[in-house]
Structure 1
């Protein structure tokens, strides 16, 4: 990814379309006594005033990207927009008959068929400053091809469009970094510790990039099922699953393992919500009732053994 990912943000500030990968069987209300916390308890997470499912699920700053040449994209995107009350003006339909539908495109195709039309729709609909989040779907490319150090996730490249600060990083070699999140910058070490300053609610104007997330699955029915599962999850909670990679300890990337420890401390220790924190060399799979998930994926030492 071109913009450094924020693990803690991903764990505690996700929108409902990413909440569930399995049905949640527990039905405990988030209003249950003992789960109300003041803002001082939540000083290092993305929403200092805390969460409640009836107040924080606001989609007024969310746009949906649909590739009209992909029936999968149309079905999933329109279903999501209908379920979340997203109006047509915030549905970005790619209507060029030459728009690619494959998983991999090149830089020129990204610019011509995706980035430029999205920029134009945002401008023509006077949505500049109104959109913080963009949802992509199955049927929209996954990756933008390039040289060894210039390949990138489609969603990561899309996040940087129309950004005075980050647009130069699109199609460029290597990655770029941003300052949004709980990391401190002690003696020039960006990831040495966590800042005590509360993380502000995300705003694209302030941060210079969009948060782009994808609603997809192995097939359309799986993706559509995620919408239903998210609907059913309101007022309930599942388990936060954290999977540490022991091969990353004592390496330059150990700070991500440190972030997993911090996430467990915050979600389970401070908030009192259930977590499953795997700290051995096994790559964790087949877990039910998952509401949040963070792992190393293919960078885990036991990825091939899963």
Structure 2
């Protein structure tokens, strides 16, 4: 399990499962000869994408950033179509840290697409229940509204199975919200209308989690946005803003989806000056 510490804040990557999605969709209008130099692709034109929640331990709180692909939530067709070869083992990851799902105080949801939100609920006695029963679940008000009332495009990724059982746990915000001192969510839109990023600060250091505005290190170019993005110009503008902000503070950029790096630190010129590689079996 990879970890990172800044100040008194500890970051740990849990095992939330893996998907393999179409590389063309993940890089939008960028030609394959360009993006495939930066991120490996298989014979089916799929790229490997982790769905690994990030545990933030700060100020005596256990905060989970997104929830993974879940376990037992997808049918055989969905497992095949989304290239899910490994499902979540969040409970085992938490156990290795001396924790259980009941110890999670807050779950912060950058957005609620299925590959981020399936881990919020699980089947128990033929009924969906909350995986994190003691947690407050935080997402933007725009995201929560679309989650419950998806449109013709978004209904393929916003599923009632991922929100109905946790509805009473959800708290929403408008533009920004302080989760705890040093952990702030900012609404950005772009990937989804309600998409948010997370900034973590402690001990004079900073972490920036761009979520699906920059799902992997290969998406650093502000123009390299996903075909899945509902509002690509918003993605581009916010990538420019927050990447520049992070680089100017020598921040770590940390990832939920990247199959190769947990975090990367770039300098002002865009050169990698530090990295945390994901341990691969």
* Class of the TM-score when normalised by the shorter of the 2 chains: under 0.3
* Larger RCO (alpha carbons 8 Å, 6+ apart): 1
Greater Rg over alpha carbons, structure: 1
